[in-house]
Amino acid sequence: MGKATGFLEYSRQDNGDIPPQRRIQTFEEFHEPLQEEPRRKQAARCMNCGVPFCQSAMTLAGMVTGCPLHNLIPEWNHEIYEGHDEHALSRLCKTASFPEFTGRVCPALCEKACMCGQYDEPVSIRDNELYLIETAFAQGTMCPRIPKVRSGKKVAVIGSGPSGLAAADLLNRRGHLVTVYERDDRIGGLLMYGIPNMKLDKEVIMRRQRLMEAEGVTFVTGFDVDSPEKAQNLKTQYDAVVLCCGAKQPRTLTGAVTDLHGEKCDLRPDQVKGVFFAVDFLKSTTKALLGGKGRSVQDLHRKHGYISAAGKHVVIVGGGDTGNDCIGTVIRHGCRSVTALEMLGAPPVNRAQSNPWPQWPKILKTDYGHEEAAYLYGKDPRIFETTVKEFITGKRGELRKIRTVKVAFEGRTMHEVEGTEQVLPCDLLLIAAGFTGCQEYTPSAFGLERGARGTVLCEGHKTAVPGIFAAGDMRRGQSLVVWAIAEGRTCAAEVDEYLMGYSML
Contacts of 175 (CB under 8 A, 6+ apart): 147, 149, 150, 151
Nearest to 476 by CA among 247, 252, 320, 249: 247
pLDDT (average), residues 8-25: 96
Q: What whole-number distance in Å separates Cα of residue 413 and Cα of residue 90? A: 50
Nearest to 112 by CA among 363, 335, 331: 363
What is the model's pLDDT at position 278? Answer: 97
Query: In the CATH scheme, what is the code of domain 256-431?
Result: 3.50.50.60
What is the model's pLDDT at position 292? Answer: 63
- Secondary structure (DSSP) of 28-50: S--EEPPPHHHHHHHHHT----S
Which element (helix H / strand E) includes 228?
helix 228-237
Higher pLDDT, 206 or 298: 206
Looking at residue 203, its amino acid is: E
What is the model's pLDDT at position 293? Answer: 61
Contacts of 306 (CB under 8 A, 6+ apart): 284, 285, 287, 288, 300
Q: What whole-number distance in Å separates Cα of residue 145 and Cα of residue 211? A: 9
Q: What whole-number distance in Å separates Cα of residue 491 and Cα of residue 469? A: 7
Question: Residue 461: which pLDDT band, with cuts at 50, 70 and 90?
Answer: very high
Average pLDDT of the chain, as a whole number: 95
The beta strands (E) that lie in 324-381 are given as: 337-342
Question: Residue 262: which pLDDT band, with cuts at 50, 70 and 90?
Answer: confident
Q: What whole-number distance in Å separates Cα of residue 340 and Cα of residue 431? A: 10
User: 125 with 88: CB under 8 angstroms?
Assistant: no
Q: Could you give the maximum distance between any two Cα atoms of the chain, in Å?
A: 72
| Confidence check: pLDDT of 394 > 90 | yes
Q: What whole-number distance in Å separates Cα of residue 291 and Cα of residue 306? A: 11
The beta strands (E) that lie in 169-245 are given as: 177-182, 218-221, 240-243
Rounded percentage of the chain residues whose pLDDT exceeds 70: 99
Q: What whole-number distance in Å separates Cα of residue 61 and Cα of residue 482? A: 20
Distance of CA 189 to the CA centre of its chain: 10
What is the model's pLDDT at position 300? Answer: 84
Which element (helix H / strand E) includes 291?
helix 278-292
Residue 408, SS3 per DSSP: strand
Q: What whole-number distance in Å separates Cα of residue 163 and Cα of residue 68? A: 13
What is the model's pLDDT at position 85? Answer: 97
Which 8-state DSSP code applies to residue 146? -
Burial track 86-97 (b if 16+ CB lie within 10 A, e otherwise): eebbbbbbebbb
User: 343 with 413: CB under 8 angstroms?
Assistant: no
Tell me whether residue 415 is exposed, middle or buried, using C-beta atoms within 10 angstroms of its C-beta: 0 to 12, 13 to 18, 19 or more. exposed
Nearest to 438 by CA among 115, 158, 239, 44: 158
Residue 191, SS3 per DSSP: helix
- Secondary structure (DSSP) of 447-486: T--B-TTS-B--BTTB-SSTTEEE-THHHH-S--HHHHHH
User: 103 with 89: CB under 8 angstroms?
Assistant: no
Q: What whole-number distance in Å separates Cα of residue 364 and Cα of residue 348? A: 6
Query: In the CATH scheme, what is the code of domain 6-139?
Result: 1.10.1060.10
| Confidence check: pLDDT of 106 > 90 | yes
Question: Residue 18: which pLDDT band, with cuts at 50, 70 and 90?
Answer: very high
Same fold? 154-249+436-500, 256-431: yes
Sorted by where each begins, the domain ranges of the chain are: 6-139, 154-249+436-500, 256-431
pLDDT (average), residues 200-229: 98
Q: What whole-number distance in Å separates Cα of residue 394 and Cα of residue 258? A: 9
Query: Class of 154-249+436-500 per CATH?
Result: alpha beta
| Confidence check: pLDDT of 221 > 70 | yes
CA 84, 85, 90, 93 torsion-angle sign: positive
Q: Helix count (H) and strand count (E) of the chain?
A: 19, 19
Quick: pLDDT tens for 285-297: 999 999 766 677 8
pLDDT (average), residues 386-411: 95
| Radius of gyration, alpha carbons of the chain | 24
Angle at 253 between CA 451 and CA 365, to 5 degrees: 90
Nearest to 205 by CA among 29, 77, 439, 324: 29
